[in-house]
Chain A
Amino acid sequence: MNPAEIISTVPPALVFLAGAMLLPVLGARLRPLVFVAMPVLALLMIANLEPGTTAGIVFMNLELVVLRADSLSLAFGYVFCLISFFGGWYAWHLKEKGQQVAALIYAGSALGAVFAGDLFTLFVFWELMLVGSAYLVWAGRTRFSAGAGMRYIIVHLAGGSFLLAGILWHFSLTGSIEFAHLAGAPSWLILIGFAVNAAVVPLHAWLPDAYPESSVTGSVFLSAFTTKVAIYTLIRGFEGLDILVWVGAVMAVYGAVYAFMQNDIRRVLAYGIISQLGFMVAAVGIGSALAINGAVAHAFSHILYKGLLFMCAGAVLFATGRSKLTELGGLSRSMPLVFVLYMIGAVSISGFPLFSGFVSKSMEIYAAEAGHYTFVFLLLQLASAGTFLYTGLKLPYFMFFGQDKSLPVKPLPKGMYAGMGLAALSCIVIGIFPQMLYRILPFQSNYQPYSSAHLWETASILLFTGLVFWLMLDKIKPAPLVTLDFDWFYRRPAGLAYRVFVAMPARVFTRADNVLMRLTGWLSDIAANPVGFIVWHAARLKSRIRNTTAPAAEPAVFDPDRYRGSLGMMVTVVMAGFIIIALFSLVD
């Protein structure tokens, strides 16, 4: 085999994981350079992969396929490398080894998961993603990070358990661990595992709980990988499953309404992810070639513009130390460049012509129409309007305009601008040259986004969404509040669970401890001074019965002079001993 062939059997994930091992021994100035070099290296390897390449290893009598390159996994591979590269620039200023290593592990395991050809390899990378991402949540170090990270881990471990149970059941029934289209009873368990990571309502609450509490740079990576790997696995395993159409449509609107209620800017964007994932989940459920192409294209452009939006929100948080709409305002004057870059992300997600959302999201919407899902089509259009309303109008209005709070602004590192600029550029390039994106989609497509009907429809929706916002502006006021969501079911009873499982056992143990300590005290008193103990307690009992005053003090310490037997008694005992011995010797 020549070197190129050998390289084409190495999973690209290994590049990231090797980088993660290398980083800790490097100096602080070299680390960001190595960080951005890893995605470039992996991207070159992926570009070198022919569709249809597979590579496997045998482990415990199982043939594991650690690399399966086809058009579907390659498309996700490309975009994961791109966002890691942009994120690496954005995080150039970061001095913290832990976050850099965690981000590389996270990105690497996401790549590993999309290139996994069997269910066991998928599961290993699936859980490895959790390790990297949980660290990024904790790295936020806000008042709420610790709890949010712990809930994040618990929810994902639960989802992972469903996944593993389903995989084992599937394996025992079919004897195959190939990751292809799944059906039958075990597939429902696997579907639950996937649905947790895809933030399918009502299993979604971990996402808006954890992402807003993560670090400024960490949220960029978080917004990209976990949920999109889940979309990939849903396409691979559950393409055409009808229930997903409806679930997705509900998610799209649910996310939009919730996003509109939020006060924390990164929580608005987090609910925006759920809304956007709804489009993709619905498209997976429709399952036609146009729909699957749409889901992949939307995932691709979504990773880039949502990454950009999280970068800009992070930049605002970095510069001002604030992330609440109620505390922000008037930043367009002090952060004009961030405002422009944010708006590029916002018009991309809203589907403005010449930006990436226009050429990707519309495929899913038309797939719903072509599949005669009329109501779903309308729900998705409504969610589109809602997306523009909260990301393109409400958020920038209260962040960059609104009441000027004259906040002091810390200058941003140059790397942040580089990351945001590159991500913004990618949104525009995809919007202007959609064929670049369409070429890497799983199915051949002659979809034309720039048709008169589509332009007209988009113009109508966006313009009238803007008009309604203008109309209702004095009715829309952010408030310093949080919303209840499905996490209520495990967060609110947490107090009760704490009382039942922590406080109550603790109290029982304390009681038992006290009783034991008192018993031990008595025992040691008896051992130290048996006569005194008995005499004193007898005296106390007597005084109680006769109802007289209790004896003065407890004879706690043994006093040998007080209880020593008389000399005569001792001599008698010794003499008796001698007599007995003498008697025995006589008997002999």
Chain B
Amino acid sequence: MKRIPVIVSLVLLVIFIIADLWFHLTHGDGWWAGIPGFFALFAGLGCLVIIAAAGLLGRRWLLRKEDYYESGRDN
């Protein structure tokens, strides 16, 4: 993992949390309304989960060669 994106992401996350604390921008009926910067954290972690899930599921189970369905045929 490169260093610059990590630093940029963390700095932006802190900025978003502070901005949210200051202006109270996150609204809603759910429990997340009280967490500053909730959607930034949620999206970041959520995308990591999607990438990890797609990678793991793909490598371990779901990804096959392009002629997978043809290789089983007699003709």
Contacts and interface: CB of A to CB of B under 8 A. Distances in A.
Interface of A: 256-258, 260-261, 369-370, 372, 374, 377-378, 381-382, 385-386, 389, 452-453, 456-457, 460-465, 467-472, 474-476, 479-485, 491-492, 494-495, 498-499, 503
Nearest to A366: B28
A146 to B, nearest CB: 12
Interface of B: 1-2, 5-6, 8-9, 12-13, 16, 20, 25-31, 37-44, 46-51, 53-55, 57-58, 61-66, 68-69, 72-74
Contacts of B63: 261, 479, 481-484
Contacts of A480: 66
A472 B51 contact: yes
Contacts of B37: 460
Nearest to B39: A460
Contacts, number: 142
B5 A260 contact: no
Contact of B46 (A386, A479, A485): A386
Interface residue SS majority, chain A: helix
A467 B68 contact: no
Contacts of B54: 257-258, 260-261
Contacts of B66: 480-482
Contact of A456 (B13, B25, B44, B50): B25
Nearest to B6: A471
Contacts of B26: 453, 456-457
A481 B65 contact: yes
Contacts of B49: 382
B46 A499 contact: no
A494 B50 CA distance: 32
Contacts of A378: 42
Contacts of B1: 471, 474
Given A257-B53, A260-B50, A491-B69, A467 B62 contact: no
Contact of A467 (B8, B38, B55): B8
A382 B46 CA distance: 6
A453 B47 CA distance: 21
13 contacts: A385-B50, A386-B46, A456-B26, A460-B43, A464-B44, A465-B47, A467-B12, A470-B9, A474-B1, A481-B66, A484-B62, A484-B64, A503-B74
B74 A498 contact: yes
Given A389-B50, A465-B47, A471 B62 contact: no
A465 B43 CA distance: 6
A478 to B, nearest CB: 11
Q: 10 tightest A-B contacts by CB?
A: A460-B39, A453-B27, A495-B72, A456-B25, A468-B47, A461-B43, A460-B40, A464-B44, A260-B54, A481-B63
